[in-house]
Amino acid sequence: MFERLLSENKSTIEAYCQHRFNQQLYDGSLPREAFMWFLRQDATYLRAYAKVLEKISQRLESENSQFAELFKRFQKETIQAELGINQEYFPRSPLSFFSHQEATTPVIVAYIKHLTDTAEKGTIAEAITACYPCFLLYFKLGEQNKNCPPNNEYRTWTAFYSDPTFVESMQLITAALKKLLEPISEPASQQRIVDAFSKSAGFEVAFCDAALESGNTAKDEAGWRCNIL
């Protein structure tokens, strides 16, 4: 089942890794206003993402205490990492920046709704699968960009995703997801799991689209290429 997730979403995973936003992060040519817009939207997303991880942990407490603790760890790491990144790029007031509620783009609103709805109404396997692309795609970004030029101003951000702590978390959530998916054989259940992954992965690509287009004042938000909303 885990292999099916990757194989059926191969093109989306490749589209994310090869996306012009991520390529420009690597070579340092990304316009700074696009990156700062991305960080602000990402902070809003990660606040919600941490709450989703907390919800999953709470649901797991009665089923699997080991996995419950694992998702508590992921929640804490999400908040700590974002604070650290914001301190790097917003040194004057990282705490107030992180707690500030930014007006969000449609792709982030829809992505948060997808994760929240799945965490509250889906099975545990569906909820974790919906969260997994965030780990997987940023891990791939870290691997891809770990040797980016030393004078790249975005190096601190991309380096986090090749950091040993994040790599270990990626390995842990992968192992947990594989274990949860292994006994699932009913076709409809499998399809819901695939759909949860596909939708999240699509939102990640759409977020990159929106970040690049954020600097183009001629485009309205409604014109962002978020055809999965």
In-domain check, residue 229: no
| pTM for this predicted structure | 0.87
Q: What is the pLDDT along the chain (229 residues), one digit of tens a residue?
A: 999 999 999 999 999 999 999 999 999 999 988 998 998 888 889 889 999 999 999 999 988 888 999 999 999 888 887 777 767 776 554 444 445 555 578 999 999 999 999 999 999 999 999 999 999 999 999 888 888 887 888 888 888 888 899 999 999 999 999 999 999 999 999 999 999 999 999 999 999 999 998 855 334 333 333 444 4
**How much is the pLDDT for 183?**
94
**Strand, helix or coil at 28?**
coil
In-domain check, residue 15: yes
In-domain check, residue 228: no
CA neighbours closer than 13 Å in the CB half-sphere of residue 207: 29
Burial code of 183-209, b = ≥16 C-beta within 10 A, e = fewer? eeeeeeebebbbebbbbbbbbbbbbbb
For residue 47, what are the CA distances in angstroms to 98, 101, 161? 8, 10, 18
In-domain check, residue 88: yes
The enclosing domain of 196 has a CATH number of 1.20.910.10
How many domains does the chain fold into? 1
Amino acid at 136: L
Range of the domain at 103: 2-223
Contact 59, 75 (CB under 8 A): no
Q: 33: closest CA among 162, 161, 153?
A: 153
In-domain check, residue 64: yes
Q: Which two tokens stand for residue 66?
A: 């080991």
Instruction: For residue 162, count other CB atoms closer than 10 A to its CB.
Output: 18
Cα angle 165, 160, 56; round to 5: 60
In-domain check, residue 7: yes
Give CA–CA dist 95/56, Å, rounded: 25
**How much is the pLDDT for 150?**
79
Q: If you ran DSSP here, which 8-state letter would residue 30 be given? A: S
